[in-house]
Amino acid sequence: MEARGFALTPHAIRSGNFHLEGRTAVITGAGSGIGRAIARRFAASGARVLLLDIDGSQAEAVAREIAEAGGLAAAWECDVSRQQHVKAVFARIFREGRVHILVNNAGIAHVGKLEGTTEADFDRVFGVNVKGFYNCMLAAVEHMKSHSGGVILNLASIAAWAGLADRFAYSMSKGAVVAMTYSVAKDYIRENIRCNSMSPARVHTPFVDGYLRKNYPGREQEMFERLSQTQPIGRMAELEKIASLALFLCSDEASFITGTDYAIDGGFLHLHG
């Protein structure tokens, strides 16, 4: 549970038009996939990034990548589903200084419709994808209130809005994320805390590649193309595009935006079919 820091240069590399100089961002699930991409983009845009992941070694690896690129980063092992663990990690983080941004990204998938979802499956998905977000927001919001505000960004999914086949528990969890986002935005707007969410469609991540290798050996490219074509734009989202939207929503350029879910879906929700 101890922080793992690295020797870093005094300032990070600027990237794009939106900047986070002087800001500290906590990013959960930052050891891979979308979380890793957001952490790298935030660091390249001037933020000090604190990388939380249940796999501390993966978080360390990302922090080293960021350090090698001239950014500021530290890695923390954290199981977001355990409230006392989250409270302890955040307490240590807060002793080091102010946190301006929280990105709730840590999540797990589950394939199965209602009858194919056991109670254990349901509890596992809920524990990470819903309770995990609750735990981190609960740990952060009092700190943000006492420091004149902050920004919370929650990773939801188009599964919150669309009827995806065989995604019962996952869809449930992401619908809850959107509802929590609206509630927190409403309740803390006077404390200068902005809260938004993003709902990606299918994103090309290492998880997708692993899924195809496991379930379609020898047919990976064929199935990759088939999955890509389920989105009207004809391709999966690139990790960097998700990170770019996250950067905008957490920057001052988005200071008038709160209580909103952003679909980043290649036209899936409104152009599909």
Q: How would DSSP label each residue in 69-98? A: TT-EEEEEE--TT-HHHHHHHHHHHHHH--
Shared domain for 51 and 134, answered yes or no, is yes
Assess contact for 198 and 249: CB atoms under 8 A. Answer: yes
Shared domain for 47 and 118, answered yes or no, is yes
Shared domain for 196 and 213, answered yes or no, is no
Examine residue 272 and state whether it is found in any structural domain, yes or no: no
What pLDDT digit, counting tens, does each position of 174-192 carry? 999 999 999 999 999 999 9
Shared domain for 162 and 183, answered yes or no, is yes
Examine residue 67 and state whether it is found in any structural domain, yes or no: yes
Give every strand in the sheet of 261-264, ordered side by side: 4-5, 72-77, 48-53, 24-28, 101-104, 150-155, 193-200, 261-264
Shared domain for 63 and 144, answered yes or no, is yes
Domain total in the chain: 2
What is the per-residue pLDDT for 265? Answer: 77
Query: Which stretches in the chain have pLDDT values below 50?
Result: 1-15
What is the per-residue pLDDT for 8? Answer: 40
Tokens, residue 217: 């050996």
What is the per-residue pLDDT for 34? Answer: 95
Shared domain for 210 and 146, answered yes or no, is no
Shared domain for 89 and 108, answered yes or no, is yes
**Percent helix, strand and coil across the chain, each rounded to 5?**
50, 15, 35
Continuous segment of H or E residues that includes residue 182: helix 168-187
Shared domain for 160 and 48, answered yes or no, is yes
Q: Which residues are catalytic?
A: 170
Examine residue 269 and state whether it is found in any structural domain, yes or no: no
Residues 6+ apart with CB under 8 A from 131: 80, 81, 83
Examine residue 253 and state whether it is found in any structural domain, yes or no: yes
Domain, as residue range, for 100: 4-201+238-262
Shared domain for 120 and 53, answered yes or no, is yes
Shared domain for 48 and 88, answered yes or no, is yes
Residues 6+ apart with CB under 8 A from 225: none
Shared domain for 11 and 67, answered yes or no, is yes
Range list of H helices, 17-118: 33-44, 56-68, 83-96
What is the per-residue pLDDT for 1? Answer: 42
What pLDDT digit, counting tens, does each position of 16-34 carry? 568 999 999 999 999 999 9
